[in-house]
Amino acid sequence: MSLVIYYDPMSSDIKERLAKHRESELHGHKLGPYIQDIVYGGHDGIITTFAVVAGTAGADLPHYIVIILGFANLFADAVSMGAGAFLSLKSELDHYFRLKKEELQEIEAIPDLEREEVREAYEAKGFRGSDLDRVVDVITSNKEVWAETMMLEEHGLTKQASANPLSHGIMTFVGFVLFGIVPLFPYLFGIQSDQRFPVAIAGTFAALALLGVTRSFVTRERLIRGALEIVAIGALTATVAYGIGVMLKGLVGVAF
């Protein structure tokens, strides 16, 4: 009599190794889901705040005007950006649930057609014969899994893509404020008036570079290129903002 030992793929050893594998961040940094919010909010915060600084400097306005306009712009835009990110993702999530409800209704009303759609989708992925029959049977045996499969294959939507709209809105707000306040620092501390704007320029470029490095660190790609991309785009928009300030000063004749 021989003893047959079956291998359990989900043994305690495998589970422990899987847990360590997930904790090792091999598949991305914990901030990965929010890097788009951080970059989007941070970049917009730096540029819009610096636009106020550059515009007022170009028009040769007093420093207290820079502080008032800068902070008003900083927090108003930060709230607007955060709320916009929240509402956008919330709308996508509502859209997802509405379409999923329709898919569930179609599964109840026309299961044969919905089943054929699953078959076609997995046939396109390379499944054939008994393997195709098996995967279709497994998916269509659970209506929730069936509907979610149709959401991905037919509509290209997943619940995870628009999950946690509040968290994304908060991260956009935080990124905007943390990076956007940097161009205002020279006007808040005891720096000579003729040095404020040059220091604001240096601080702005440093913040842009830091944002680029942060993006590259989280995505683990293009460390130098990522920073250069953001700095280059920021330099272009900052130059435009300063040029408009100078132009308006000449056209309007602002004087104090």
**One pLDDT digit (tens) per residue for the chain, 256 residues:** 444 444 455 566 787 776 666 665 545 556 667 788 888 899 889 888 888 888 777 777 787 888 898 899 999 999 999 999 999 999 989 999 999 999 999 999 999 999 999 999 999 999 999 999 999 999 999 999 999 999 988 888 888 777 788 999 999 999 999 999 999 999 888 788 888 888 988 998 888 888 888 877 776 666 677 778 888 887 787 778 777 767 766 665 544 4
Q: Is there a domain that residue 2 lies in? A: no
Q: Does residue 142 lie within any of the structural domains? A: yes
What is residue 235's predicted lDDT score, i.e. its pLDDT? 79
CA R_g for the chain:
27
Q: Which of 230, 229, 251, 248 is nearest to 240 (CA)?
A: 248
Tell whether 18 is covered by a domain: no
Report if residue 85 sits inside a domain: yes
What range does the domain containing 203 cover?
A: 33-252
pLDDT of amino acid 254: 47
Query: Domain for residue 109, yes or no?
Result: yes
**pLDDT value of residue 8:** 53
Q: Are 168 and 37 in contact (CB under 8 A)?
A: yes
Residue 151 lies in a domain: yes
pTM: 0.73
Decide if 43 contacts 211 (C-beta within 8 A): yes
Q: How many CA atoms lie within 13 A of 231 on its CB side?
A: 17
φ, ψ for residue 196 (rounded to 5)?
-65, -50
pLDDT number for residue 115: 93
How would you class 80 by CB atoms within 10 Å of its CB: exposed for 0-12, middle for 13-18, buried for 19 or more? middle
> Domain count of the chain?
1
Q: How many CB atoms lie within 10 A of CB 222?
A: 13
Q: In Å, what is the CA distance from 218 to each residue of 27, 136, 148, 160, 215? A: 11, 37, 29, 19, 5
Classify residue 12: in a domain, yes or no: no
Answer yes or no: is 15 within a domain.
no
